[in-house]
Structure 1
Amino acid sequence: MFRTTDTVLIAVMVAAAAYTYQVKRGAEDQLDAINHMKTQIRLEGETIDLLKADWSLLSRPGRLQKLVDVYSDQLQLKPVEANQIVTLDDLPMRPPSPPGDGTTVARNGTDKIVTGGVKP
């Protein structure tokens, strides 16, 4: 009734249909993943916008001044003095990196610690 070629062609068509369905299903899964990621990105953007709005409300100068007035005893803030502001040329150069990973220098105690905040 069926010839061998008919059977082979039917098998090839069934295999092609199965492969096409598999590819279609994979593409739909990828599209779902992309849509899910787009939703997450949109939600993250909305969260960032909300956090920026919160930050701008929290960092208003009037609000900060009220907080400084309330907590001035605890904060002990002082105005910035002119000698605290320097140019980039006034800053000391970065010291050279220690040889190796620095453990030998630390172990020997030969590391000369120099900071700008501590006067000798």
Structure 2
Amino acid sequence: MRSLTYLACVLIVMGLAFWAYRENYRTQTAMGEMSQLQREIAGLREDLGVLRAEWAYLNRPERLRELVNLNFDRLQLIPQESGQVIDLGNIDYPKPPAPPEPDEEGANVAPEE
């Protein structure tokens, strides 16, 4: 009976060792993938910084003013003034269509035009 208990303990220890071995390699693989993703994210952040710098360079007020002056004949862009901006509450939007009126049986009838 004692040898059966020893055999069971040895098999359990071997099973746990095999499980730990597999988990170790899974963890190393996951850590490798994570470091690869972090390198990719760092590269994309660097690219984003370059794109933001290019955008800021292209949107310089002097450059845009020069482009407006060069293309004035085609675009006819003029500087915006404070009187050109209005509040959204002052805009007259079209009224929504009236809902259909129910007839005697209770069914909705479309309004006649």
TM-score (normalizing by structure 1): 0.64
> What does 1:12-51 align with in structure 2 at a 5 Å threshold?
12-51=12-51
Unaligned residue ranges in structure 1 (runs of 5+): 100-107, 111-120
**For residues 95 and 61 of structure 1, what CA distance do their matches in structure 2 show?**
41
Query: Secondary structure at the residue paired with 1:77?
Result: coil
Match of 1:89 in 2: 89
1:44 Cα deviation (Å)? 1.8
Match of 2:55 in 1: 55
1:96 Cα deviation (Å)? 5.5
- The Cα RMSD (Å) is 3.0
What percent identity do the matched residue pairs reach? 25
**For residues 21 and 97 of structure 1, what CA distance do their matches in structure 2 show?**
71
Q: 1:70 to 1:37 in 2, by over 3 A?
A: same
**For residues 81 and 9 of structure 2, what CA distance do their matches in structure 1 show?**
90
**For residues 94 and 14 of structure 1, what CA distance do their matches in structure 2 show?**
79
**AA matched with 1:21:** Y
1:51 Cα deviation (Å)? 0.8
1:6 pairs with 2:9: no
| Greater Cα radius of gyration, structure 1 or 2 | 2
1:72 pairs with 2:72: yes
TM-score (normalizing by structure 2): 0.67
Runs of 4+ in 1 over 4 A off after TM superposition: 93-99
1:39 Cα deviation (Å)? 1.6
